[in-house]
Amino acid sequence: MMAIDLPIIWAFIIAFAVFVYVVMDGFDLGLGILFPLFPEKRDRDVIMNSVAPVWDGNETWLVLGGGGLMAAFPLAYAVLMPALYTPMIVMLLGLVFRGVAFEFRWRTQRERNRWDIAFAGGSLLATLAQGIALGAVLQGVHVEGRQYAGGWWDWLTPFSILTGVSLVIGYALLGATWLVMKTEGALRDRAYRLSWFLLIAMLGAIGAVSIATPFLAVQYTQRWFTWPNIILTAPVPVAVAAVTVLLLRALANKYDYQPFFLTLALFALSYAGLGISMFPYIVPQSITIWQAASPANSQLFMLFGVAVLIPLILGYTVWAYWVFRGKVKPESGYH
C-alpha cells in the first residue's frame, strides 16, 4: 500500500471530474449567458435544441465532483461547503431555474419568455457563483480544528469577484464557439463575432487572474517564480500564448470545430495553472490532500468503481453526443 499514494490518485480523479464538468457544462451555461443576445425565438429554439439531449449528463459531473469530494476528502467537503455557503446556494438555485427551463419553455406559449429569462438568469448566476467560489477557495478560508471558522461573508472579496466575472466570460466564449460548431447561417455568423469579442475579454481575464493570484499568499509566489519550479511553470504561459495564436487563426479562417476545442485547451491550461498553485493543498494554506483524505479502504473501495465505470461512462457519453452530432436544424415542427 505504501507504493501507491491513494490521496494523490483521488486528487487527480476529483480534479478530472471537475474539469469534465467545466468542459461539458461550461458551454451549456455559456449558452444561457448568451441567450439575451439572441432575442429571436427561432434562434433560441436552435440554441436550446443543441444542448437539450445532453444537459442532464453534463450536470451529473457536478454531482460526482461534490459526492466524490465528500467520499474521498470528507474534511475538505465539510470545511469548504460552509465557507462557500452563499455562492453554493446561489449556484444551486440558479441551476434549478435553468434546468427546468429546458422542458418548461416548450410547455407554454404565454410564459415562454419567462422561462427564457429563467434560463439566462439561472445560467449567469450559477456561473458567477462558481467563479466566486473558485476565487474564495484560492484566497484561503479560516479553519479551526476540523471546522470552518470564518464568517458568513468571507467569500466576498475583489479577487473572488474577479474570478466570478472571468468565469462568466470564459463560459460565454465556450458557448459562442459551441454555437459556431453546431449552427448555420446568420446565427453562426453572430456567434463568430461574439467569439472575437469574448476571446479578447477572456485573455484579459486570464491575465488579470494570473497577475492577482501570486499576490494572494506566499505559497503561490514561491510556487510559480522560484528556481527550479520556474522550469516547470514557465511552459504554462507559453502554451497559453501558442493556443491563443491558433485560436485567433481559427476564428479568422472561420473554422467550424477548432474554435471550440481550442477554447477548451485554454481552459485546460488555466486549470493546470490552478492545480500548480494549489497542490498539495485542497483547502489552500490549511488542509492538504493527505490530511483531508478518507481512510484507505474507503478510497480503495471507490477506486475499483471509478476504474471500471468512468471509461464506460465516457464511452456512452461520447455515443450520446455522436447520436446528436452535426448542425442543429432550425425548423421546429412540434410545439
Q: How far is CA 136 from the centre of its chain?
A: 15
Under the criterion CB under 8 A, does residue 99 sit at the interface with another protein?
yes
The Cβ of residue 221 has, within 10 Å, a number of other Cβ atoms equal to 14
SS3 content of the chain, % helix, strand, coil (to 5): 75, 5, 20
d(CA 133, CA 3): 34
CB of 195 to another protein, least distance (A): 25
Residues 265-304 that bind another protein (CB under 8 A): 294-295, 297-298, 301-302
For another protein, the binding residue among 9, 52, 217, 248 (CB under 8 A) is 52
Beta strands 287-288 and 281-283, pairing class: antiparallel
**Is 40 a residue that touches another protein (CB under 8 A)?**
no
CB of 117 to another protein, least distance (A): 12
Number of residues that bind another protein (CB under 8 A): 74
- With CB under 8 A as the contact rule, the residue among 18, 62, 209, 274 that binds another protein is 62
Q: State residue 296 phi and psi, 5-degree precision.
A: -55, -35
3-state SS, residue 288:
strand
The binder of another protein chosen from 15, 93, 239, 248 (CB under 8 A): 93
Backbone angles phi and psi of 283, in degrees to 5? -115, 105
**By the rule CB under 8 A, 53 interacts with another protein:** yes
Residue 1 in contact with another protein, rule: CB under 8 A: no
- Considering the rule CB under 8 A, would residue 88 count as an interface residue with another protein? yes
Task: Assess 316 for contact with another protein (CB under 8 A).
Answer: yes
The b-or-e profile of 240-264 (16+ CB within 10 A means b, else e) is beebbeebbebbeeebeebbbebbb
Closest approach, Cβ 289 to another protein, in A, equals 14
Whichever of 150 and 237 has its CB closer to another protein, that residue is 150
Q: Collapse the DSSP code of 148 into the 3-class scheme (helix H, G, I; strand E, B; otherwise coil) and give the result.
A: strand
Nearer CB in complex with another protein: 100/217 = 100
Minimum CB separation from another protein for residue 103, in Å?
5
Among 15, 23, 78, 248, binds another protein (CB under 8 A): 78
**Distance (Å, rounded) from C-alpha 303 to C-alpha 284?**
25
Regarding 109 and contact with another protein (CB under 8 A), the answer is: no
Least distance to another protein, CB of residue 18, Å: 13
Does position 195 interact with another protein (CB under 8 A)? The reply is: no
Integer Cα distance of 121 and 33 in angstroms: 7
**Distances in Å between the alpha carbon of 206 and those of 164, 201, 220, 221, 232?**
12, 9, 16, 17, 19
Question: Restricting to residues 140-169, which ones interact with another protein according to CB under 8 A?
Answer: 146-149, 152
Q: Which of 8, 9, 67, 255 binds another protein (CB under 8 A)?
A: 67
**Binding of another protein by 96 (CB under 8 A):** yes
Distance CA 18, CA 167 (A): 14
Q: In angstroms, rounded to a whole number, what is the distance separating the alpha carbons of residues 151 and 267? A: 31
Q: Least separation, in Å, of the C-beta of 134 and another protein?
A: 15
Q: Which three cell numbers stand for residue 229?
A: 519550479
Q: Within the chain, how many helices (H) and strands (E) appear?
A: 14, 4
Binding mask 6-35 for another protein (x = CB under 8 A): ------------------------------
Q: Does 177 bind another protein (CB under 8 A)?
A: no
Q: How far is the CB of 226 from another protein (least distance, A)?
A: 34
